[in-house]
């Protein structure tokens, strides 16, 4: 038996209060083919924050995450819902999670196209981070060599995994010709137990996700590369800017 790696994972302290966001995103494959356009809309009401991430694919598929969390001294997930449907995904899935009660409901289609439903009651750790990883990266000290968080995934059965987050160093980029730097993180999924030991051998270990963050007085997300679903391909999410009609086109 190989020794299990255990990381103490506490809720992340709030260093930067979250507020109102309305950002535009694009999703591409690693060959730079445009797959979907998206948005991130976030609003805060006191210490309660609601964040909604949406992607609308060119083939009609939809990816939507709705996350509600509190930010009183530390970040705590309250509720989370993930909806994925359409030909871009291996299976249609609708997962709802109440982190306060541990209630989990997963509706999905099996390999025969039949609709299934799973309801479970789990004891969830305080650091469960569904829908919050990029938010938390803005409050994690980049000098810390490794941070552990928990995440509930649908396989389609609910499975609690650990995320091991490590800073890999700074990468350079430019904005309007001006040089800037971003911190790149690797997010590794630790399945744990016997399954975790066997997974790399049978090719079931999920690939690492890489996330680029800009730091300073207002840390923020720049891009990520990783799968959006189990056994999914590596996709890139990036910030997007509006494209305006050219002068004289007649459009307003």
The pLDDT-based confidence of 136 (bands split at 50, 70, 90) is: very high
Q: Looking at the predicted structure, is the pLDDT value of residue 135 above 70?
A: yes
Compute the radius of gyration of the chain from its Cα atoms.
Answer: 19
198: left (phi over 0), alpha (psi -120 to 50) or beta: alpha
1 is a domain residue: no
Domain that holds residue 103: 21-27+36-239
Domain for residue 7, yes or no?
Answer: no
Is residue 5 a part of any domain in this protein?
A: no
Of residues 202 and 154, more confidence is placed in 154
Q: What is the pLDDT of residue 150?
A: 95
Does a structural domain hold residue 40? yes
Is 252's pLDDT higher than 80?
Answer: no
pLDDT for 250 = 58
Two structure tokens written together for 231:
């056994």
Count of the separate structural domains present in the chain: 1
247 part of a folded domain: no
In the predicted structure, residue 194 carries a pLDDT above the cut 50: no
Distance, in Å, from the CA atom of 36 to the CA atom of 32, rounded to the nearest integer, reads: 12
Report if residue 246 sits inside a domain: no
Question: Is 197 within the bounds of a domain?
Answer: yes
| 48 part of a folded domain | yes
């Amino acid at each position: 038996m190989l020794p299990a790696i255990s990381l103490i994972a506490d809720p992340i302290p709030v260093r930067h209060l979250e507020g109102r966001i309305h950002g535009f995103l694009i999703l591409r494959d690693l060959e730079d083919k445009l797959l979907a356009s998206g948005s991130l809309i976030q609003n805060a009401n006191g210490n309660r924050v609601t964040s909604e991430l949406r992607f609308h694919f060119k083939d009609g598929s939809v990816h939507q995450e709705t996350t509600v969390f509190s930010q009183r001294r530390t970040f705590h997930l309250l509720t989370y819902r993930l909806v994925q449907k359409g030909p871009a995904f291996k299976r249609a899935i609708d997962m709802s999670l109440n982190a306060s009660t541990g209630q989990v409901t997963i509706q999905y289609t099996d390999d025969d196209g039949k609709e299934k439903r799973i309801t479970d009651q789990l004891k969830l750790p305080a650091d469960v981070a569904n829908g919050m990883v990029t938010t938390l990266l803005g409050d994690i000290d980049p000098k810390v060599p490794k941070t552990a968080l928990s995440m509930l995934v649908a396989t389609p059965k609910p499975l609690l995994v650990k995320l091991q987050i490590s800073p890999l160093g700074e990468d350079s980029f430019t904005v309007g010709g001006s040089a800037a730097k971003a911190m790149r993180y690797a997010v590794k999924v630790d399945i744990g137990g016997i399954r975790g030991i066997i997974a790399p051998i049978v090719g079931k270990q999920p690939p690492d996700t890489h996330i680029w963050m800009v730091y300073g007085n207002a840390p923020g997300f720049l891009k990520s590369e990783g799968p959006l679903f189990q056994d999914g391909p590596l996709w890139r999410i990036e910030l997007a800017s509006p494209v305006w009609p050219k002068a004289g086109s007649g459009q307003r």
